[in-house]
Amino acid sequence: MRQFLLFLLAIFISLFFFVSSTSADELGDIQNQINSLQKQLEDSKAATTPLEGQVKSLEAQLASINARLLQVQKDLNKSEDELAYQKETLAQTVRSFYIGSFADIPFLTLFASGDATQTLRLLTLQAETSRQNREIISGISEKIAKLADDKKRFASAQAQTGKQSQVLKGEIASARAFQSELEGKISTLTARQEEILAAKNQTFTTSVGDVPLADDPNASPSYNPGFSPAFGGFSFGAYTHRNGMSQYGAKGRADGGHKAEEILAHYYSGSTLNKNFSVPSNITVEGFGSMSFEDTYMKRIYEMPNSFPKEALKAQAVAARTYAIRYTDNGSKPICTTQSCQVYQNSNKGGAWEEAVNETKGWVLEGGANSQYSSTTGGYLNNSGWDTKCGSRDCWTPDAYEKIANSPWFYKGWYTQSYSNGSGKCGRSSPWLTQEEMADILNAWLVQGKDGVDGGRITPVTTSCWGGNPYSMSELAGKANDAAGGAVTSVSSVSVSYNNDGKTANVSFSTNRGTVSVSGSDFKTIYNLRAPGYISIRSPLYNIEQK
């Protein structure tokens, strides 16, 4: 037992902490730490297994002893009943014998025939009966004494076995707690490594800005990747929290004749538009100090281009004004100048934007869940549902307002490092994957969490931009053969289903091993974790295209 405890102590002392970084060298370093912790965990579990076997053996012995004790008790009770019966029988015999000796026998002696034979027979029978009863009583007494002794010995064995079992259980509990701690550290490290996943998801929010984004023909489903079969993940919208107003949706609605009030009522359901709100006189802007709220700050917000229709710009002005008031607690704290808050530039924007600000002066939304907005949501928002002409999924995608407004982010395949088309591409020219690459992603999904598979190595094979020590495609296929009943080697078709909550519900592939179906959220995770380069799905609502 001491050796086991020393083993646990040695492992525990060997744990160490490390600082965070996303460099390729550190990702490799992190992987080594994960492997080390995993080995320690396996060693601890290996040391615990024999103890568990001993506990099971002791518990089996304990169960056997308890069963035998129960039988001994039953026998003891039965013997004690028999002893009581035989004692009563003896007492009756003795009583009858003495009564006969002092009463019946003299009477018979006086009145019986001459040889007294009958009297002698009676005396002999009584004597024999008394002897037999004494022998029975003696035998039962010996049996009771033996059973009582057995009961003591069994009880002692029961106590010793139970004590040993509790000691071992305590050691196992300590080992399990230690293993849980190791697993927690491994989980933390793996989560740390999955900064890759966060980077691909790009969780920050962006807006249209001053100039609409240029489209990327290589990110279009019509692009020819030059190989077939080809598979690509195409997101409906991206870089959005899906709350509040869609800026391209507002443009589509304004193009269709909707007034600013109608646009705001749709995107901020539950809010009330107050057209005479007492806005703060001044606002503090980080890096620029205090300034007039309406006449300076509001006219220098660069969140929607002047080319958008006036009613969309007016809706944007109200949303921006409301956001600034809520963010600064009615002017009591400063506001940042980036898309983390809302974009501010130190010069008046002028044109249609300034007109929209002036025409909505004092217009502020009150109540409601939020005052957020973003460029493109892909046709669905958390607080207002489907952003379509019919108000449901029935006319999505043809009558989605963002599609009507020609948002370049409405349906796009992502393969760049950020939302900018000029950002890093990690050697990829499009979001399209080969059949082998898609099969590799499915194999990653099949083996994750399986015994003998290091989940921390399910990362992009493109170490030039991600670092680490990922499984090669052949290694992962081998793991799928060993742990998942066969690797995916070919993919012939794919189908996608959607739910009414604006998310991809399920993705199903026809493969060499039959149909492989994955929930929409799980597939998005494994796709972003394993797809090479910066290829990723950046919305919970997406499609898988095939060429």
Instruction: Give the β-pairing of 432-434 and 491-498.
Output: unpaired
Residues with Cβ within 8 Å of 193's Cβ and at least 6 positions away in sequence, in order, are 27, 30, 31, 34, 456, 459, 468
Give the pLDDT score at 8: 39
What is the CA angle 84-85-91, rounded to 5? 90
Q: What is the pLDDT of residue 246?
A: 96
Q: pLDDT at position 9, please?
A: 38
Whole-number percent of the chain with pLDDT over 70 = 67
Residue with more model confidence, 293 or 196: 293
Read off the pLDDT of each residue in 89-98 and give the average, rounded to a whole number.
57
Q: What is the pLDDT of residue 341?
A: 92
User: Taking residues 227-239, what's their average pLDDT?
Assistant: 95
* Per-residue pLDDT at 194 exceeds 70: no
- 185 band by pLDDT with thresholds 50, 70 and 90: very low
Strand, helix or coil at 529?
Answer: helix
Cβ 437 vs Cβ 509: under 8 Å? no
Bigger pLDDT: 101 vs 261: 261
Domain boundaries, the chain: 2-187, 198-204+215-236+414-546, 245-404
Predicted pLDDT at 421:
86
Identify the residue with better confidence: 96 or 319.
319
Q: 122 or 512, which is more confident?
A: 512
pLDDT tens profile 242-300: 999 999 999 999 999 999 999 999 999 999 999 999 999 999 999 999 999 999 999 99
Other beta carbons less than 10 A from residue 13's beta carbon: 8
pLDDT score at 416: 94
Distances in whole angstroms, Cα of residue 409 to Cα of each of 235, 331, 402: 8, 34, 9
Q: What integer is the mean pLDDT of 435-441?
A: 98
Upstream peptide bond of 397 is cis (omega within 30 degrees of 0): yes
**pLDDT for the residue 104:** 46
Is residue 229 reached through a cis peptide bond, with omega within 30 degrees of 0 on the bond before it? yes
Res 195: pLDDT: 76
CB burial class (10 A; 0-12, 13-18, 19+) of residue 392?
A: exposed
More confident residue, 275 or 71: 275
Q: Which two tokens stand for residue 487?
A: 């690797």
If pLDDT is split at 50, 70 and 90, which confidence band does 141 have?
low
Mean pLDDT computed over 435-452: 94
Backbone angles phi, psi at 250, to 5 degrees: -65, -40
pLDDT of residue 510: 97
Q: Please name every residue paired with 232 in a beta bridge, in sequence order, or none if there are none.
A: 432, 545
Contact 364, 274 (CB under 8 A): yes
Q: How far does the chain reach from its first CA to its final CA, in angstroms?
A: 63
DSSP for 438-450, please give it: HHHHHHHHHHTT-
Q: Could you identify the residue written with the tokens 């490092």? A: 417
pLDDT for 508 equals: 97
Q: Which fold has domain 2-187?
A: Helix Hairpins (1.10.287)
Q: Does residue 543 contact residue 497 with C-beta atoms inside 8 Å?
A: no
pLDDT at residue 362, as a whole number: 96
SS3 496: strand
* b/e sequence 315-351, b meaning 16+ C-beta within 10 Å: bbbbbbbbbbbebbeebeebbebebebbbbeeeebee
Q: Which of 16-25, 146-155, 414-423: highest mean pLDDT?
A: 414-423
| Measured torsion, CA atoms of residues 291, 295, 296, 301, in degrees rounded to the nearest 10 | 130
Q: Is the pLDDT confidence value at 410 over 50?
A: yes
Distance, in Å, from the CA atom of 164 to the CA atom of 166, rounded to the nearest integer, reads 5
